[in-house]
Homo-oligomer: A and B are copies of this chain.
Amino acid sequence: MIYSSELIKGTLKTIVLKLLADNKKMYGYEITQRVKELTFDRIQITEGALYPTLHALESDGLVTTETEYIGKRVRKYYSLSPSGKNKTKEKVSELADFMETMKFLLDIKPKTA
């Protein structure tokens, strides 16, 4: 079972930031594979969604990049900047908080019947 894509909306940036916080530096393709692994294939980040997100994080100054060559193939590593680290803490705790709220909302039992 794969989560309907609408659920991933709004959480992608947070997922990426958190992975970078946990791993110091990662490249795009690696991120897609790691998320796939960690979620047992239930969340699959597409490249069309990921790369624009990474570029946005970079232009917001939340990540820095370094390019490496593996043979002739280019690989672009992303790392959190200091402000990226702060942003990650904010985003992760906001999402955790939000999930508590949602859990509460979804647990409410009917008054009627």
Which residues of A are at the interface with B, using a C-beta cutoff of 8 A? 3-4, 6-11, 13-15, 18, 21-24, 35, 38-39, 42-43, 92, 94-99, 101-106, 108-113
Contacts and interface: CB of A to CB of B under 8 A. Distances in A.
A107 to B, nearest CB: 9
A7 B111 contact: no
Contacts of A110: 21-24
A100 to B, nearest CB: 9
Contacts of A11: 7, 102
B95 A106 contact: yes
The 6 closest A-B pairs by CB, nearest first: A6-B10, A9-B10, A22-B110, A9-B9, A99-B99, A7-B98
A92 B111 contact: no
A87 to B, nearest CB: 12
28 contacts: A3-B94, A3-B98, A4-B94, A6-B9, A6-B10, A6-B13, A7-B11, A7-B95, A8-B10, A10-B10, A14-B106, A15-B105, A18-B105, A21-B110, A22-B110, A23-B110, A23-B112, A24-B112, A24-B113, A35-B105, A38-B104, A42-B98, A42-B101, A43-B101, A96-B103, A99-B99, A99-B102, A99-B103
